[in-house]
Structure 1
Amino acid sequence: MLSTSHVLLRKASDAFLSHRSVIQPRAFPAIWVQFSKLSTSAGVAVHDLPDIDLDRLEKQRNIGISAHIDSGKTTLTERILFYTGRIRQIHEVKGKDGVGAKMDSMDLEREKGITIASAATHATWDGNTINIIDTPGHVDFTIEVERALRVLDGAILVLCGVSGVQSQSLTVDRQMKRYGVPRVTFINKLDRAGSDPWRVIEQVEKKLGLRAAAIHVPIGLESDLKGIVDIISQEAIYFDGPNGETLRREAIPPELVELVAARRKYLIETLADVDETLGDKYLMEEHITDDDVHEAIRRATLQKIFSPVMMGSALKNTGVQTLLDGIIKYLPNPAERENYALERVTRDDSSDIVEEKKKLLSSHSTEPLVSLAFKLEESRFGQLTYLRVYQGTLRKGDLVVNTRTKKKVKVPRLVRMHSNEMEEIQEALSGDICAMFGLECASGDTFVSASDSKPLSMESLFVPDSVMSLAVAPKKKDAGSNNFTKALNRFTREDPTFRVHMDPESKQTIISGMGELHLQIYVERMLREYNVDLEVGAPRVNYRETVQRRANFNYTHKKQSGGAGQFAALEGYIEPTEDGVSVEFKNGLIGNNVPPGFLPAIEKGFREALEEGSLTGHRVQGVRMVVQDGKTHPVDSNELSFRMASIQGFRQAFMRAKAGVLEPIMKVEVEIPTEYQGTIMGGLSKRRGIIVNSSAHSEYGSVVAEVPLKMMFGYSTELRSMTQGKGEYSMEYLQHRILPDPDELMSDYKEKKAAGRK
């Protein structure tokens, strides 16, 4: 016989089941909490009952729009917002009408026609909620793409129909793979001269190593672009009206019937290779329906082994609505992504050793809260913190804990962002992206429920090293110093790739970043937002030092000045590490000539010596230090002595180990009309560039080269003059390589050291 609790539970279950399409946890969170408690007390697991989160999450997508610079991301986002009813009028990126694209809210973005900071918004399409983050394309702002992809469930990779897969496309692809983000591909700008979508799809497969196939065929190309053909439904789609808002579906034009049939066959064959279910049907020669194809695309896309390719032109209002349909059909909802947090656990064999263990997060809104702060922004109301809620519910007024600082804070205000506009909300459920005011935190901090006895923390972001530096100082020392400090503190908090330090010898403030444009933007923002006009020194390249062979050291540190002195002797060697980047300290001691208690001090000395190399004063990388023996004194040996012995022993061996200077090498991709290709290759060679690849197609060509960063200063001006303003380039950090002639750098460092001693 059933208990009263079981009877009530069954009735509640039936009620929820019959109203799943109506009842939402956002509207009735208290009911669902009670329902969960009732199920537990009745001995029935919550996951065995109808999950009211499921309906909500099935109709939600969190996506990012990523691409190489000038591929049309922001233009595409503007059309998406228009067709979903979020904006009433379309504006162009460069803001010629004085308004500019909705997602480029910063004046600098509208003036330069580029996206500098990622912007979040949300829209509704066919009953589904889509949270969108528009990201920059320029490599200097790659951290914006990095942190957006860290919290998103799916992405749109936008490729130019003319240029295809470019350098930043490769970077974005690596970022998507790093965070396991499934993507759909949209080939944009098919209205441009020289566009060729089939060449672009070949590049996706060859350069990105990803199986891809078209689900659209364009009706015409370049100036003749009229619409697209849906390969799966086999119908032509035209985009009528002043802004392409009216879709007209007709039979496939006769001249395209053969091409569409061939592309459909290729699509099914490709899917049969990557999807077992469709592959079985294909091999058994069973009839394959449209639904079979859609389901196979979704399965393969979620497994990140395939990307469906859609086509159009955002500027000409073609193919955007079909892209929106593809987002809903093929990209995952938040419940379909596996997200993990780190849990601190005590090892069974030791109560003193604590390890971090991965724990799979649930998408239930009733579980304990786990949310990640992935972006910070200064607003007129204070710090605005962008959050992704992975598990549980974040409510206004709730007590939450920052797992890094262990501080409890109360959520003062929650908002949902629409570019620079805000909409007040009372709560954010699992899977949501929101923002909150009034909390001091850092990018990458995790917020959990204050009541959670085992707080979890999310893995942090990957932050690349800076490659360029500038010496800056306010022109008006007294009036501008306060605002100068405020600006630096804000920008370093908001952007992990923007770093600030004080040069100990020159006493100059040094700002470091990802490139020339990155630092120029911050200098300009200080003037506009903080009224601080800066004196800017010449750009400085972040060189490194390294060793190229093994060398021994045998150093004794002695100091006697009455009473207890200092004594420490160390023997060992240094050698290059395998990857040429990492640094490593290794204990090779046998016996007790050096007590183990001094090892931390020895390692500290080694890492201190790495901070300033002996050749040019730059940081040392790619070296391993192995300590094999040493001597101590019963009275004079201490941690300071061994730290100093480690520093000097390292420096002794460093010069014997064929020390060298490393310079940053950039991968440079130049897009130009083919007539200028030879001139550009010659210009890059003069800048010590190594031409890696060059290609030409139709009217445009590209040149890929590896060029030292120092030689790229002022290249944008030279490129404009050589190509009559028709060329554009992008560059990204590749690696540090040995500088063939470091004499000038070494002599400058010696002069600087000598001047400091005077």
Structure 2
Amino acid sequence: MSAEFDTSHVKNIVLLGHAGSGKTSLAESMLFESGAISRRGTIAAKNTVGDYHELEQERGNSIFSKLMHSRWRGYKINIIDTPGYDDFVGEVISALRVADTGVMLLNASMGVEVGTDIIWQYTEQFKTPMIFAVNQLDHEKADFEKTVQQAKEHFGSKVVVVQYPLQQGEGFHEIIDVLRMTLYKFTDGGGKPEKLPIPEIEREKAEQLHKELVEAVASNDETLMEHYFDKGELDEDEMKEGMKKAMINHDLFPLFCLSAERNMGSGRLMGFIDNVCPSANEMPPQKTRRGELLPCKSDGPACLFIYKTVTEPHIGELSFFKVYSGVIKSGTELINENTNVTEKITQLFVLEGNRRTSVNELSAGDIGATLKLKNTHVNNTLHDKGRNIELNPIEFPSPNMSMAIEPVNKGEEEKLSPALHQLVEEDPTVRVEISSELKQTIIHCQGDMHLAVIKWKLEHLAKMEVRFVRPRIAYRETIRKGADAQYRHKKQSGGAGQFGEVHLRIEPWSEGMAEPAGLNVRGRDTQELPWGGKLVYYNCIVGGAIDTRFMPSILKGVMEKMQEGPLTGSYVRDIRVSVYDGKMHPVDSNDISFKLAGLQAFRQAFREADPQLLEPIYKIEVMCPDELTGSVMGDLQTRRAIVEGMESEGHFTRIVAKVPIAEMFEYSSSLRSITQGRAKFSLEFDSYAPVPYELQKKLMEEYNKTEILAEA
């Protein structure tokens, strides 16, 4: 049996928007309108197709992206519903990677929220054709004009009104469509509207908006512009083709009206999606890693891209994919370009939330899922044997939050590792680091809500209790002046003894500094340290006081102490060590003796060289609403941040600062509280900087206490 829908009759849309903008309700209305479901669920009743996950029902908002589909007038519309909180941005980015049109929902009572701006940045990156839909026009505080104005301010004049509400607020039930120049009148139950002429009182406004729409379409195509000048109008087919082309080029963003919860306007939106929005074969071809083009054609080589994986209890791993070329059939064997493993596609599914329906094949452009691939992960490309196709991977954002994790029950450390591996497999925005430096397992994620989901998964799916604790800070130690020290290691315990004496000088190292003063340089070894910075090691021995063969042993002792600095046990960096004298014993001198002598001499000199503790400094960028800038700045200043700049972006302010990472613990929660979830931030390592004196003193005292306890 051939695929039910060919490439040109499959439309892939992703529902986008700030949390609470109504994406899940719109998906529900679309499924209902198309007859995929017989009754509409609601968020409050916890019975929508999209938010089926137990955790989403607990929290009352989407956390994971969901794949659904509807059949509408001969077309298949694949719908991916996405979460609205920035903590789950990975779900949004992966959905955008495979969608051919985005529907950005705007809450009519809130206007353009920060979540909208955040998501918009990704739509610009993917150049996804976009539709705006002003939703919740039945809300008592709905303000359509203000929302449109904000959309134009944030996203430019390419936002063009296709519909506007005749009334808004609790009485909302009529929409004027200026593309079709028709009034849609809905009953209280929504659904299919009555089509009526535009009232005379609205005629002038509707005609003006119609003219603006036609001019916006014509301005992006020379041929259409000529037709418009000739006729003063464009016919329906010309408008359709012109809008499609402009949307593909990111030159036009049509704006529609909705009450998703009352199912008003969703049918017209679906009609526009199947009539105007591009199918995958009308979008620019995919570029492979080698720079070649892969047209989306069903008669091309079979090729699919994995954009998401989910582990389902008792079933296994479900891999979600988009077919970018050819036809994928049950039983097909494909090569994974990334792992070089042959994978057999045993089953193919289309999905309705958590309900899977088996199909025999899927054509280029379609989206589906399969089970139990052996060694295939997110971002992998699978293709016909004998080919060499690798599609560009999704680039996921860097984490914004780090927490140390440990099992509550002793003995469950072994159980934790595979559970964390599974988490990373499902969610590429989670990173797990087993830090030998900090002696902790660190979870890096997008924020406190993301962390709560991680904890829930471990407790409910991996069946283990975990706790999150504050991660230790990766301090560094260095010195601010030079110092000399000598140490004699002597041990006699019957038989061969141990003897080694080392005289050395240590100095702060900097690029281009002069050679050691007053010393005769015989050799130099520059060590690029794995933890950053350098150790420059000089052999300045004259007259054979220490045999050359013992120099590597002294270096080994110095390096050992640099891995556990004298101040706080942190790594030491940017030091120059010059070994200039010492003594040997003809019998008792050996490698271990000089290693220990070198270690102790370095330790003594370090303490005399005005030691300095360094802390990691991060660059932070915060984007927040203008009116909350003062509160955000005030909070950053309590964290020892140095603000480097501020710039306005629409209704938001971007604050750039440098801040010690030690002060950023639970910042995600604090920022959400200060701004009611209307801000976002990103962190990036910048440099190391000296720790203030009082803090250094406190950290040294704490370290000395732990050392005393350890020795006891």
Answer yes or no: same fold by TM over 0.5. Answer: yes
Q: Which residue of 1 aligns with 2:403?
A: 470
Q: Which residue of 2 aligns with 1:321?
A: 267
Q: How does 1:368-407 map to 2 (within 5 A)?
A: 368-379=301-312, 380-407=314-341
Deviation, structure 1 residue 532: 1.9
Q: Which residue of 2 aligns with 1:609?
A: 531
Deviation, structure 1 residue 713: 5.8
**Residue 380 of structure 2 is aligned to residue 445 of structure 1:** yes
> Whose radius of gyration is greater, 1 or 2?
2
Give, in whole Å, the separation in 2 of the partners of 1:317 and 1:510. Answer: 45
1:364-407 Cα distance to aligned partner (Å, 9 max, x none): 32322221111111012111111111012222222211111111
Q: Which residue of 2 aligns with 1:535?
A: 467
For residues 694 and 430 of structure 1, do their structure 2 counterparts lie closer, same or farther at Cα, with a shift above 3 Å needed? closer
Q: Secondary structure at the match of 2:365?
A: coil
Give, in whole Å, the separation in 1 of the partners of 2:252 and 2:216. Answer: 9
For residues 747 and 87 of structure 1, do their structure 2 counterparts lie closer, same or farther at Cα, with a shift above 3 Å needed? farther
Q: Which residue of 2 aligns with 1:496?
A: 428
Query: Could you tell me the TM-score, scaled by structure 2's length?
Result: 0.75
Moved more, 251-260 or 369-378: 251-260
Which residue identity does 2:34 align to in structure 1?
A: T
For residues 100 and 512 of structure 1, do their structure 2 counterparts lie closer, same or farther at Cα, with a shift above 3 Å needed? same
Whether the 8 Å contact between 2:535 and 2:573 is mirrored in structure 1 is no
| Correspondence for 2:455 among 523, 541, 562 | 523
Q: How does 1:578-657 map to 2 (within 5 A)?
A: 605=528, 608-610=530-532, 651-652=574-575
Q: Secondary structure at the match of 2:291?
A: strand
Q: Which residue of 2 aligns with 1:79?
A: 29
Give, in whole Å, the separation in 1 of the partners of 2:203 and 2:477. Answer: 62
Give, in whole Å, the separation in 2 of the partners of 1:446 and 1:289. Answer: 42
Q: Which residue of 1 aligns with 2:634?
A: 685
Q: Which residue of 2 aligns with 1:662?
A: 617
Which residue identity does 1:461 align to in structure 2?
A: I
1:694-736 Cα distance to aligned partner (Å, 9 max, x none): 999xxxx9998779854746548966xxxxxxx8323322445
Q: Secondary structure at the match of 1:404?
A: coil
Q: Which residue of 1 aligns with 2:602?
A: none
Whether the 8 Å contact between 1:342 and 1:358 is mirrored in structure 2 is yes
Q: Secondary structure at the match of 1:730?
A: coil
Which residue identity does 2:3 align to in structure 1?
A: R
Q: Which residue of 2 aligns with 1:253?
A: 199
Q: How does 1:18-37 map to 2 (within 5 A)?
A: 25-26=2-3
| Correspondence for 1:513 among 438, 441, 445 | 445
For residues 116 and 210 of structure 1, do their structure 2 counterparts lie closer, same or farther at Cα, with a shift above 3 Å needed? farther
Whether the 8 Å contact between 2:41 and 2:48 is mirrored in structure 1 is yes
| Correspondence for 1:171 among 108, 118, 131 | 118
Give, in whole Å, the separation in 2 of the partners of 1:363 and 1:669. Answer: 40
1:65-105 Cα distance to aligned partner (Å, 9 max, x none): 111111111111111111111111111124x3xx4321111
Q: Which residue of 2 aligns with 1:291?
A: 237
1:230-274 Cα distance to aligned partner (Å, 9 max, x none): 1022110022363x1222101113332222122112222333433
Deviation, structure 1 residue 294: 2.8
Deviation, structure 1 residue 224: 2.3
Give, in whole Å, the separation in 1 of the partners of 2:98 and 2:291. Answer: 17
For residues 239 and 511 of structure 1, do their structure 2 counterparts lie closer, same or farther at Cα, with a shift above 3 Å needed? same
Aligned length: 623
**Residue 364 of structure 2 is aligned to residue 409 of structure 1:** no
Q: How does 1:691-702 map to 2 (within 5 A)?
A: none
Moved more, 701-710 or 248-257: 701-710
Q: Secondary structure at the match of 2:164?
A: strand
Q: Which residue of 2 aligns with 1:730?
A: 678
| Correspondence for 1:262 among 183, 199, 208 | 208
Give, in whole Å, the separation in 1 of the partners of 2:24 and 2:365. Answer: 24
For residues 751 and 100 of structure 1, do their structure 2 counterparts lie closer, same or farther at Cα, with a shift above 3 Å needed? farther
| Correspondence for 2:391 among 458, 473, 477 | 458
Give, in whole Å, the separation in 2 of the partners of 1:668 and 1:541. Answer: 27
Moved more, 517-526 or 409-418: 409-418
Q: How does 1:118-133 map to 2 (within 5 A)?
A: 118-133=65-80
For residues 658 and 747 of structure 1, do their structure 2 counterparts lie closer, same or farther at Cα, with a shift above 3 Å needed? closer
**Residue 16 of structure 2 is aligned to residue 66 of structure 1:** yes
Q: What percentage of aligned pairs have identical amino acids? A: 22
| Correspondence for 1:196 among 120, 140, 143 | 143
Moved more, 304-313 or 504-513: 504-513
Q: How does 1:40-59 map to 2 (within 5 A)?
A: 56-59=6-9
Give, in whole Å, the separation in 1 of the partners of 2:523 and 2:202. Answer: 81
Give, in whole Å, the separation in 1 of the partners of 2:47 and 2:654. Answer: 32
Q: Which residue of 2 aligns with 1:432?
A: 366
For residues 486 and 198 of structure 1, do their structure 2 counterparts lie closer, same or farther at Cα, with a shift above 3 Å needed? same
Q: Secondary structure at the match of 2:394?
A: coil
Give, in whole Å, the separation in 2 of the partners of 1:694 and 1:510. Answer: 35
Question: With CA pairs under 8 Å and 6+ residues apart, which has the higher RCO, 1 or 2?
Answer: 2
For residues 394 and 718 of structure 1, do their structure 2 counterparts lie closer, same or farther at Cα, with a shift above 3 Å needed? closer
Which residue identity does 1:733 align to in structure 2?
A: F
Q: Which residue of 1 aligns with 2:352?
A: 418
Deviation, structure 1 residue 535: 2.5
Deviation, structure 1 residue 189: 1.5
Which residue identity does 1:512 align to in structure 2?
A: H
Deviation, structure 1 residue 304: 1.0
Give, in whole Å, the separation in 1 of the partners of 2:273 and 2:23. Answer: 15
Q: Secondary structure at the match of 1:294?
A: helix
Moved more, 745-754 or 198-207: 745-754
Deviation, structure 1 residue 198: 2.9
Which residue identity does 1:609 align to in structure 2?
A: W
For residues 331 and 630 of structure 1, do their structure 2 counterparts lie closer, same or farther at Cα, with a shift above 3 Å needed? farther
Which residue identity does 1:372 align to in structure 2?
A: F
Whether the 8 Å contact between 2:296 and 2:324 is mirrored in structure 1 is yes
Give, in whole Å, the separation in 2 of the partners of 1:222 and 1:382. Answer: 47
**Residue 169 of structure 2 is aligned to residue 222 of structure 1:** yes
Q: Secondary structure at the match of 1:274?
A: coil
Query: Could you tell me the TM-score, scaled by structure 1's length?
Result: 0.71
Deviation, structure 1 residue 756: 7.5
1:616-640 Cα distance to aligned partner (Å, 9 max, x none): xxxxxxxxx99999999999999x9
For residues 574 and 496 of structure 1, do their structure 2 counterparts lie closer, same or farther at Cα, with a shift above 3 Å needed? farther
Give, in whole Å, the separation in 1 of the partners of 2:33 and 2:706. Answer: 64
Deviation, structure 1 residue 307: 0.6
Whether the 8 Å contact between 1:573 and 1:627 is mirrored in structure 2 is no
Which residue identity does 2:442 align to in structure 1?
A: I
Q: Secondary structure at the match of 1:75?
A: helix
**Residue 234 of structure 2 is aligned to residue 301 of structure 1:** no
For residues 195 and 658 of structure 1, do their structure 2 counterparts lie closer, same or farther at Cα, with a shift above 3 Å needed? farther
For residues 289 and 398 of structure 1, do their structure 2 counterparts lie closer, same or farther at Cα, with a shift above 3 Å needed? closer
For residues 199 and 543 of structure 1, do their structure 2 counterparts lie closer, same or farther at Cα, with a shift above 3 Å needed? farther
**Residue 419 of structure 2 is aligned to residue 487 of structure 1:** yes
For residues 265 and 572 of structure 1, do their structure 2 counterparts lie closer, same or farther at Cα, with a shift above 3 Å needed? farther
For residues 741 and 89 of structure 1, do their structure 2 counterparts lie closer, same or farther at Cα, with a shift above 3 Å needed? farther
**Structure 2: which 5+ runs fail to align?**
483-497, 500-507, 513-521, 542-547, 564-570, 577-609, 658-662
